[in-house]
Amino acid sequence: MSTIRFGLAGCGVIGEVHARAIASLPQTELVAVADVPAAFSAAEKLGAEYGASACADFTMMLERQDVDVVNICTPSGLHAQQAIEAMSRGKHVIVEKPMALTRRDIDGMLEAQHRAGVKLSVISQRRFEPGVRTLYRLIQRGGLGRIVLAVAHVPWWRTQGYYDSGAWRGTETLDGGVLMNQAIHVVDLLQWMVGPVEAVQGYVATVAHVMECEDTAVATLRFSNGALGTISATTGANPGSALQLEILGDGGSAVLLDGDLRVAGPAADEPDDTGSYDPREYLDAHAAQIADVIQAVRENRSPLVDGNEGRRSVEIILAILESAVQKREVRVA
Q: What average pLDDT score do residues 93-110 get?
A: 98
Q: Is the pLDDT of residue 271 over 80?
A: no
Beta bridge partners of 255: 246, 262
**Could you tell me where the DSSP H helices lie in 78-219?**
79-88, 103-116, 130-140, 160-164, 178, 184-194
Q: What average pLDDT score do residues 300-310 get?
A: 97
Least confident of 252-261, 266-275, 298-307: 266-275
Q: What average pLDDT score do residues 227-239 get?
A: 98
CATH of domain 126-277+313-331: 3.30.360.10
Measured distance CA(71)–CA(7) in Å, rounded? 6
Domain positions in the chain: 4-125+283-305, 126-277+313-331
∠ Cα 172 304 17 (to 5°): 60
Q: According to the model, what pLDDT value does residue 1 have?
A: 60
Confidence band, pLDDT 50/70/90 cuts, at residue 275: very low
Same CATH topology for 4-125+283-305 and 126-277+313-331: the answer is no
Per-residue pLDDT of 43-63, as tens digits, reads 999 999 999 999 999 999 999
Q: Is the pLDDT of residue 259 over 90?
A: no
Measured distance CA(184)–CA(301) in Å, rounded? 25
Q: According to the model, what pLDDT value does residue 285 have?
A: 94
CATH architecture of 4-125+283-305: 3-Layer(aba) Sandwich (3.40)
Q: According to the model, what pLDDT value does residue 273 have?
A: 46
pTM: 0.94
Q: Is the pLDDT of residue 280 over 50?
A: no
Measured distance CA(196)–CA(124) in Å, rounded? 17
